[in-house]
């Protein structure tokens, strides 16, 4: 069984639907064939909080929508099963930080629901902590995300 832990670092205008995010995690892990129990930490915050992390970790002094910090060595879904949390019996995949403030802004900009945007950002973070990237112009990560989101009815 997978464990998704949620925390909130700032006062937020809404609460994300955690049950939907758990389903996104389950579907994305299954899509990649990851069969061991996993653990992911998700932090919800505002633009200022994520700006500080972005500046500290990436030397970019600007807010962003999502940051991902994998704790495993992986490439395109091929995970090295370390560090395995033997006490809890789960593979710790990493941390995902989502700016709810930015998600609300982007949902308006793209013309879809806030739930869809938060789901997209979480799913995007999941694929990053599973070793996917999109800096080379590859669409495979986005294609995989859309499959997961469409299964849950989170369409644009």
Handedness of CA 59, 64, 70, 76 (dihedral sign): negative
pLDDT in the model for residue 134: 76
> Average pLDDT per run of 10 along the chain, which is 156 residues long?
81 81 95 88 95 96 95 69 62 92 95 94 95 78 94 88
Where helices occur in the chain by DSSP H, the ranges are 18-31, 47-58, 100-110, 114-129, 140-151
Straight-line distance from the first to the last Cα atom of the chain, in angstroms, rounded to the nearest whole number: 30
**Residue 125 has what pLDDT?**
96
Range of the structural domain that residue 61 is part of: 3-151
The two three-digit tokens of residue 130, written as one number: 């599973």
pLDDT attached to residue 17: 87
> What CATH number is given to the structural domain containing 67?
3.40.390.30
Full-model pTM: 0.89
The CA–CA distances, whole Å, from 136 to 91, 105, 139, 140 equal 28, 27, 9, 11
Asked whether residue 156 is assigned to any structural domain, the reply reads no
What H or E segment, with its residue span, contains residue 85?
Answer: strand 84-85
64: in domain: yes
Q: Does a structural domain hold residue 15?
A: yes
């Amino acid at each position: 069984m997978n464990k998704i832990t949620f925390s909130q670092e700032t006062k937020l205008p809404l609460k994300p639907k955690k049950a939907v995010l758990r389903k996104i995690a389950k579907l994305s892990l299954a899509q990649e064939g990851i069969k061991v129990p996993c653990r992911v930490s998700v932090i919800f915050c505002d633009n200022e909080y994520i700006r500080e992390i972005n500046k500290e970790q990436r030397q970019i002094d600007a807010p962003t929508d999502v940051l991902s910090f994998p704790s495993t060595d992986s490439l395109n879904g091929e995970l090295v099963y370390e560090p395995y949390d033997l006490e809890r019996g789960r593979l710790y995949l990493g941390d995902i930080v989502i700016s709810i403030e930015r998600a609300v802004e982007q949902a308006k900009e793209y013309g879809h629901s806030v739930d869809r945007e938060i789901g997209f950002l979480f799913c995007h973070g999941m694929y990053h902590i599973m070793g996917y990237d999109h800096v080379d112009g590859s669409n495979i990560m986005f294609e995989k995300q859309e499959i997961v989101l469409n299964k849950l009815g989170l369409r644009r």
